[in-house]
């Protein structure tokens, strides 16, 4: 690792601020012979590797195995779940991912043309940054990729209790006996499922009238019913106060105007631990962006154009901080474009069409394109095709009791959207993704031979129903 202790200005051809997905930009630039600086205080790999996708999915897989054992009698197999080595599960996950992050740092520290600064940077001028250590660096080109972090709302008393965000919840030594979760989005529902499977009593408080309210309403309602069978779910309430109790924490929540979920004006929900999972915010507050002429939107996300360039010349932004999509796969896609535009000067426009997403609850949820709620607002003509998992041969073989696929199709056959909740939804959605990305019509999908008796027949059946 090459760190300078002087206060003189160090000039680089490229400075990358943030070591998440954008570390690949720094790697590509250095490999192309550009003198490059990469600034990252925390572990390389960013949120996904260290505090998000990777650790959460490893933990959720253990939860899925535990639930499979508990449900084995449905298949005529007697089994018992005698114990769960929670600490061992977390330790194995942490060891595996830390090894990847440490290996990345070791590799980049020794890479030719690349200087790794384990520090925090803020802009002090045009493409000029100052590190916490006092050193100043400047890039002919700069990429801002500082990611996002959990949003913590201003709730009375919250600072006086030992609450968690997703960062801390992923690395507990043992599961709490009970857990109150503020928020009903994907982080809340994924971690709620994990902790419930580990033996924790989970209580979710959500301001909207249904969990995962940004999903297609049919999908959200299906999942909401499943979640209510696992957890105590209180929708239509927003947390307004938190206080410590002898047994943990107590949350006071007031009814909102977002739906019919609330039956009382005010409720209290108690638990041993509190998880705040109400959303994420861009890491832009301390960057001093205005000094560099970099504009943000009303939520604090960096504004970018079709080339991912910001309002400052020769400064680009990518990933969560840009806010185009807050997904790891969109960040990876943006990395490809930033490399081509920043390192190779190709001037390539980015195309976000057919951007999928997946939620790793149980069952999984995935979607691409428009939801029916969005199409209804646009007043466009379309047809809807649905197919339930339990009506398929593989669904019956797996004894699936929940889940369906939903295809939204324009009258000319254009696929407008596809949503799915059920077994392997994160895989099944990609048939629609490829079709939409390449202009394949719903008729062509429905006319494609799907192997029997795969779950893909559910996708086929939804499109057949739509056309």
Report the catalytic residues. 452
- Cβ within 8 Å of residue 392, ≥6 positions away: 453, 455, 457, 458, 461
- Cβ within 8 Å of residue 402, ≥6 positions away: 222, 226, 363, 389, 390, 421, 422
Comparing CA positions, the residue from 81, 56, 277, 51 lying closest to residue 179 is 277
Is residue 55 within 8 Å of residue 97, measured between CB atoms?
yes
Beta bridge partners of 204: 181, 233
Rg of the Cα trace of the chain? Answer: 24
Is residue 175 within 8 Å of residue 195, measured between CB atoms?
yes
Which two structure tokens, joined as six digits, stand for 384?
A: 């809807």
Q: Cα–Cα distance between 440 and 165 in angstroms, integer?
A: 42
Would the CA dihedral through 48, 51, 55, 57 be positive or negative?
A: negative
Q: Where are the alpha helices (DSSP H) in 180-294?
A: 186-197, 217-228
């Amino acid at each position: 690792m090459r760190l300078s202790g002087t206060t003189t200005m160090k000039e680089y051809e490229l400075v990358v601020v943030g070591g998440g997905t954008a570390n690949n930009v720094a790697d590509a630039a250095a490999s192309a012979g550009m003198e490059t600086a990469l600034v990252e205080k925390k572990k390389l790999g960013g949120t996904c590797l260290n505090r998000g996708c990777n650790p959460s999915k490893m933990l959720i897989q253990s939860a899925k195995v535990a639930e499979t054992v508990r449900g084995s009698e449905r298949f005529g197999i007697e089994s018992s779940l005698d114990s769960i080595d929670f600490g061992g599960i977390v330790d194995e996950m942490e060891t595996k991912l830390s090894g990847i992050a440490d290996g990345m740092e070791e590799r980049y520290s020794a890479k030719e043309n690349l200087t790794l600064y384990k520090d925090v940077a803020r802009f002090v001028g045009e493409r000029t940054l100052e590190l916490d250590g006092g050193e100043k660096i400047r890039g002919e080109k700069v990429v801002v990729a500082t990611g996002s972090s959990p949003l913590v709302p201003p709730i009375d008393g919250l600072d006086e209790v030992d609450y968690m965000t997703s960062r801390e919840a992923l690395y507990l030594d043992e599961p709490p006996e009970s857990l109150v979760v503020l928020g009903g989005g994907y982080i809340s529902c994924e971690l709620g499922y994990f902790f419930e499977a580990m033996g924790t009593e989970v209580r979710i408080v959500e301001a909207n009238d249904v969990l995962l309210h940004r999903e297609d309403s049919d999908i959200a309602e299906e999942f909401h019913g499943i979640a209510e069978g696992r957890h105590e779910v209180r929708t239509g309430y927003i947390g307004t106060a938190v206080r410590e109790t002898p047994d943990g924490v107590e949350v006071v929540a007031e009814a909102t105007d977002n739906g019919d979920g609330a039956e009382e004006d005010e409720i209290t929900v108690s638990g041993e631990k509190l998880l705040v999972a109400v959303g994420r915010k861009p890491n832009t507050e301390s960057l001093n962006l205005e000094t560099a002429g970099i504009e943000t939107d009303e939520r604090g996300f960096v504004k970018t154009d079709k080339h991912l360039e910001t309002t400052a010349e020769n400064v680009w932004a990518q990933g969560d901080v840009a806010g185009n999509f807050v997904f790891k796969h969109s960040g990876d896609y943006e990395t490809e474009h930033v490399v081509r535009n920043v390192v190779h000067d190709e001037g390539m426009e980015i195309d976000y069409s057919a951007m999928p997403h997946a939620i790793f609850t149980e069952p999984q949820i995935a979607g691409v394109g428009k939801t029916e709620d969005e199409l209804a607002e646009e007043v466009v003509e379309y047809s809807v095709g649905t197919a339930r998992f339990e009506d398929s041969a593989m669904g019956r073989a797996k004894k699936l009791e929940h889940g369906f696929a939903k295809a939204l199709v324009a009258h000319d056959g254009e696929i407008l959207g596809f949503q799915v909740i059920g077994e392997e939804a994160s895989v099944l959605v990609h048939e629609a993704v490829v079709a939409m990305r390449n202009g394949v019509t719903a008729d062509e999908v429905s006319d494609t031979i799907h192997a029997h008796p795969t779950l893909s027949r559910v996708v086929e059946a939804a499109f057949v129903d739509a056309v």
